[in-house]
């Protein structure tokens, strides 16, 4: 009897292991993902100068009343290049996106935008992680959805793709 219990326990463990491994391989589970603490809380301030216009301060409060995306990117991040075309598409279809250029040099960041297009309404320039830390960012790209009341309702670590849009973001833009 005890032997059967042990055997069943062993198979449950193997099954669980295989299940998690499969989720990891298909990209549905990221063991390094850190769940955000911001869902349901007011979005933190941005308050850094714009990438193009140093005298203009990019602010969270500017977006009050709109559902918008806050996208953290850097020229050093290959996944950011990959998601860029899709951000362009979203922007063309009317989704307001505020960018945060993270840990970059101004000329390089501008060069990437010139080359690949600008999907952002505004781009905050954050070379020393001051905004990134305030938002609990730990990698790039990361994208937050903020609702009309200024509350963070969703966050995605990794590139934005049509699948991510359909499954996580779209529902917040319906009304």
Partner 1 sequence: MNYLKTIMPVLFALLFVTQAHARFETHDFATEQMEEDYNVLVQELRCLVCQNQNLADSNAELAQDMRIRVYKMLSEGNSKEEIVDFMVLRYGDFVMYRPPVKSTTYILWFGPLLFFVVAALVVLSYMRKQKIETKAVVDETQQKKAHSLLDD
4: contact with partner 1 by CB under 8 A? no
108: contact with partner 1 by CB under 8 A? no
User: What is the spatial distance between Cα 73 and Cα 93, in angstroms, rounded to a whole number?
Assistant: 21
Which residue in 19, 37, 56, 92 binds partner 1 (CB under 8 A)?
Answer: 37
- CB atoms under 10 Å from CB of 16, counted, come to 10
103: contact with partner 1 by CB under 8 A? yes
User: What is the spatial distance between Cα 42 and Cα 150, in angstroms, rounded to a whole number?
Assistant: 6
139: contact with partner 1 by CB under 8 A? yes
Of the two residues 8 and 133, which places its CB atom closer to partner 1 in the complex?
133
User: What is the spatial distance between Cα 71 and Cα 153, in angstroms, rounded to a whole number?
Assistant: 14
158: contact with partner 1 by CB under 8 A? no
Residue with tokens 């850094």: 48
Give strand pairing partners of 33. Answer: none
Closest CA to 63 of 53, 52, 55, 71: 71
Of the two residues 64 and 129, which places its CB atom closer to partner 1 in the complex?
129
Give strand pairing partners of 42. Answer: 151
**Closest CB 14 distance from partner 1, rounded Å:** 17
**Closest CB 13 distance from partner 1, rounded Å:** 12
Segment interacting with partner 1, rule: CB under 8 A, options 60-68, 105-113, 126-134, 158-166:
126-134
Residue with tokens 């990221």: 30
CB 115 within 8 A of CB 139: no
**Closest CB 93 distance from partner 1, rounded Å:** 31
6: contact with partner 1 by CB under 8 A? yes
Provide the binding-site residues for partner 1, judged by CB under 8 A. Answer: 2, 6, 32, 34-38, 103, 128-130, 132-136, 138-139
């Amino acid at each position: 009897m005890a032997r059967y219990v042990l055997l069943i326990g062993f198979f449950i463990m193997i099954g669980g292991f295989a299940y998690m491994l499969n989720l990891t391989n298909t990209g549905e589970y990221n063991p390094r993902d850190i769940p955000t603490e911001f869902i349901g809380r007011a979005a933190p301030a941005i308050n850094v100068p714009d990438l193009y216009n140093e005298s203009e301060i990019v602010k969270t409060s500017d977006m009050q009343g709109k559902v918008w995306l806050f996208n953290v990117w850097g020229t050093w991040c290959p996944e950011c290049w990959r998601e860029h075309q899709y951000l362009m598409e979203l922007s063309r279809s009317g989704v307001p996106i505020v960018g945060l250029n993270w840990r970059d040099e101004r000329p390089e960041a501008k060069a990437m935008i010139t080359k690949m297009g600008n999907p952002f309404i505004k781009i905050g320039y954050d070379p020393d992680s001051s905004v990134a830390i305030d938002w609990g960012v730990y990698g790039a790209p990361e994208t937050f959805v903020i609702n009309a009341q200024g509350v963070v309702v969703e966050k995605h670590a990794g590139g934005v793709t049509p699948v991510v849009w359909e499954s996580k973001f779209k529902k917040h833009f319906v009304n």
